[in-house]
Amino acid sequence: MTRFWIGAPRFGLLLSACVALTALASTPSQAAAKIQRLISPGGIEAWFVQDATVPLIAMEYAFSGGAAQDPAGKSGVGNMVASLLDEGSGDLDSKTYHERLDRRAIELSFSSARDYFRGSLRMLKDNKDEAFDLLQLALTSPHFDPTDVERIRGQVISGLRRDTSSPSALASRKFLEIAFGDHPYSRQATGTLDSVATIDVADMKNYVGRVIAKDTLRIAVVGDVDADTLGKLLDKTFGGLPAKSKLTPISDVQAAKPPQRAFIPLDVPQTVVTFGGPGIRRHDPNFMAAYVVNHILGGGSSSRLYKEVREKRGLAYSVYDALLWMDHSALFAGNTGTRADRAGETVDAIEKEIRRMAEDGPTQKELDEAKSYLKGSQMLALDTSSKLASGMLQYQLDKLPIDYIEKRNAIVDAVTLDDAKKAAKQLWGQGLLTVIVGRAPQAAAQPAAAVPKAN
pLDDT at residue 23, rounded to an integer: 29
- Contact in structure between 66 and 78 (CB atoms under 8 Å): yes
Element (H, E) at 311: none
pLDDT at residue 42, rounded to an integer: 97
Element (H, E) at 269: none
Return per-residue pLDDT of the chain as tens, 455 residues.
333 332 333 344 444 333 332 222 233 344 446 899 999 999 999 999 999 999 999 999 999 999 999 998 999 999 999 999 999 999 999 999 999 999 999 999 999 999 999 999 999 999 999 999 999 999 999 999 999 999 999 999 999 999 999 999 999 999 999 999 999 999 999 999 999 999 999 999 999 999 999 999 999 999 999 999 999 999 999 999 999 999 999 999 999 999 999 999 999 989 999 999 999 999 999 999 999 999 999 998 889 999 999 999 999 999 999 999 999 999 999 999 999 999 999 999 999 999 999 999 999 999 999 999 999 887 777 888 999 999 999 999 999 999 999 999 999 999 999 999 999 999 999 999 999 999 976 544 444 343 333 33
- Contact in structure between 430 and 277 (CB atoms under 8 Å): yes
- Strands 116-124, 107-112: pairing is antiparallel
Provide the residue ranges of all domains of the chain, joining segments of one domain with +.
19-238, 260-443
Q: What is the model's pTM?
A: 0.88
Cis previous bond, 259, omega within 30: yes
User: What kind of architecture, by CATH, is found in domain 19-238?
Assistant: 2-Layer Sandwich (3.30)
One-letter amino acid at 87 equals: E
Top-level CATH class of 260-443?
Answer: alpha beta
Count CB-CB contacts under 10 A for residue 330.
Answer: 22
- Contact in structure between 64 and 245 (CB atoms under 8 Å): yes
What are the C-alpha distances in Å from 376 to residues 294, 370, 371, 387, 414? 17, 10, 9, 16, 15
Q: Do domains 19-238 and 260-443 have the same CATH topology?
A: yes
